[in-house]
Homo-oligomer: A and B are copies of this chain.
């Protein structure tokens, strides 16, 4: 997507053909800066310190980490060590592990002098495949937005509500929840996005607002408390959110608070869509609320907030009373009954075992 008119991906190989450039997302939304990765350790640190985040982008960065490692030492031992180092940066990231397996598969049976070129080729493919998936999600979602736009008075914007950042900054390009929005915007449809700030980490206020604004998409940041009121008053035409994990029955684990928006959408007849690459589907799970463990994170994420001071520095302030305990649950599960449809790279599925099985017949038996 574009930042102030210039097209970007979140990760790319520089003109030297070796080093890899990323956007330092820890500095957003206050400062835009890129960082050059020249070594395996640079790539590992970028993931560990969350300069890159979002499952697809973490996978792509790990893939390029293997490329950088191979430049230094293309041996089997070095490949194994690099995979270990990168896997340890975010131990629970499934896509990271998948990307490392892909890279190992592409390199293992190759001569050492071919490994560098093969690594860059496979890493580029991983990125392009991710972009293709996002674009396919975007096209399927665009059809939904088009339909809603056609039913509104001409020129009136389609109001989309989204939660957290399932945007292009979380992927290589386009994003998942945002892909339909960018497709609609690029096609000249009038769209306006309500951006949940998404406490406690504020990924909506910092990342989604940044990327929409800099691409030129009309939007407004709102407190997470506001969406229900907007839906009561006809100010939301559809919700689109992402998902971290989806059950074979269509339950969706996503950033904490997603469930509350799904309830409000259901109560007000607003369509509630979840956009996802099919890789997030766990075909062995049948009951999201009962089976998906919800991570508890540090209370500091709730009690301490970072932002820029009026002097332009970045500072952190504490908002809770000294001594008050804080609880910080990171995700919640939205039951399939509240989900209008799952926008996948193959099309829009009903959020049910049958709906998903129709689109992914080759996977649907895995949980049985």
Interface residues of A (CB under 8 A from B): 28-30, 194-195, 197-200, 202, 205-206, 209-210, 213-214, 219-230, 232-233, 255-257, 259-261, 263-264, 267, 289, 294, 299, 302-310, 314-329, 331-333
Contact = CB atoms under 8 A, between A and B. Distances in A.
Given A227-B260, A332-B228, A213 B319 contact: no
11 contacts: A29-B320, A199-B199, A219-B325, A221-B324, A222-B302, A224-B224, A226-B257, A227-B260, A232-B333, A307-B319, A310-B316
Given A197-B302, A229-B256, A263-B263, A320 B209 contact: yes
A140 B305 CA distance: 38
A317 B329 CA distance: 24
**Total copies of this chain within the assembly:** 2
Most buried by B among A200, A228, A232, A328: A228
A325 B30 CA distance: 15
A214 B233 CA distance: 40
Chain A interface SS verdict (over half): mixed
A256 B316 CA distance: 26
Contact of A326 (B222, B304, B323): B222
B29 A321 contact: yes
Contact of A206 (B29, B226, B302, B319): B319
A306 B318 CA distance: 8
Given A221-B302, A222-B326, A315-B317, A263 B228 contact: yes
Given A229-B259, A309-B315, 7 more contacts: A200-B225, A220-B324, A221-B327, A226-B329, A226-B332, A228-B259, A259-B264
6 nearest A-B residue pairs (beta carbon): A225-B257, A307-B317, A29-B321, A229-B332, A199-B223, A263-B263
Contacts of A324: 29, 195, 205, 209-210, 213, 219-221
B317 A309 contact: yes
Contacts of A327: 194, 220-222, 226
A102 to B, nearest CB: 34
Contacts of A229: 256, 259, 294, 329, 331-333
Contacts of A326: 220-222
Contact of A321 (B200, B210, B230, B255): B210
A81 to B, nearest CB: 38
Contacts of A30: 321-322
A97 B30 CA distance: 44
A241 B227 CA distance: 19
A308 B289 CA distance: 37
Contacts of A267: 263
